[in-house]
Amino acid sequence: MHNEEQTLPYKPDAADVPESQYWPLAVTFWIDVLVIAALVILVNIIAGVFLFVRINQARVPLFDSAGNVDMRQLLELMGTGAFSLLLLAQFLIFALVPIARITLLRRQSLAVIGFTASRPLRLIAQGVGIGVLMLLINALVSALFVAQGIAQNQLEQLPLFQGDYIGQFVVALVVVVVAPISEEILFRGYAFSAFFKQWGAPAASVISSLLFSIAHSLSVTQGLLALLIPTFIMGLILAFSMYRTRSILPCIIAHAFNNGVAISLAITCINNPNAPLCQS
């Protein structure tokens, strides 16, 4: 028989309210997913109203010659500041709902969802190593898709414009700092921990990774498969890290490293489109 320390992804705190007093996290997680979805929809409705006003004010065509929505025109109308606030609001919802569930509603330590770092330097080093591994795997998988004529355009959906250095910095800050923290709290901290307690590590890894992939499905307009599969693999690697370290810190570091390299290359190519690295 496994002891409690082996079967939990964290070491229980003596001050924690017993789990038996509450619904299982695997149940409350789905409730909170609905709450998160409702809040995200509300934020996007507000953003949609703002964009509608801007469209009416600008009176510019929003469709290209093929009849498709001109995403660049939409991004320019919204502006980097408004777009970044939209991303920031959504990511804060991802993070704050799980935190509120654990601390306010369950009156438990955030260690329940991986807020532990007994050896921070070691965890940071592990995070960097995992980040390098994910980057290599993502590059390989993406290359295989590109070879088949399938390429995703996730980064093209960001308001990155040549010479707009302040805007580029703001977007990079959200992508490299806010997004990894928020997504790791939700998908590895909350989702993985919830399903781990209910069904064990394999099921928790697969479910949390699937949810992680699905959450990114709206960030592309082409090449969806080329985004979902690498994202799912990335989720599995991060779930394994969560299981082994019992901390979301390495997951955040690895995620930030991966995003940082991707956004750095994107910004480099935006500002230097003729650079050899940017030719495709």
The per-residue pLDDT for range 116-158, each reduced to its tens digit, is 988 899 999 999 999 999 999 999 998 899 888 888 888 888 8
pLDDT of res. 20: 61
- pLDDT above 60 (res 98): yes
Cβ(208)–Cβ(195) under 8 Å?
Answer: yes
Q: How many domains does the chain have?
A: 1
**Looking up tokens 């690295």, which residue turns up?**
277
- pLDDT-derived band at 5 (thresholds 50, 70, 90) equals very low
Q: Is the pTM of this model over 0.85?
A: yes
Contacts 24+ apart (CB under 8 A), 150-153: 150/223, 150/225, 150/226, 151/222, 151/223, 151/226, 152/220, 152/222, 152/223, 152/224, 152/226, 152/227, 153/220, 153/221, 153/222, 153/223
pLDDT of res. 151: 85
pLDDT of res. 81: 83
Tokens of 114: 């991986």
Mean pLDDT rounded to a whole number for the chain = 87
- Pick 6 or 131 by higher pLDDT: 131
Cβ(235)–Cβ(208) under 8 Å?
Answer: yes
For residue 171, what are the domain limits?
4-278
| CB neighbour class for 47 (10 Å; exposed up to 12, middle 13-18, buried from 19) | middle
- pLDDT above 50 (res 6): no
pLDDT of res. 222: 83
- pLDDT above 90 (res 193): yes
- pLDDT above 90 (res 252): yes
pLDDT of res. 1: 36
**Mean pLDDT across the stretch 51-73?**
71
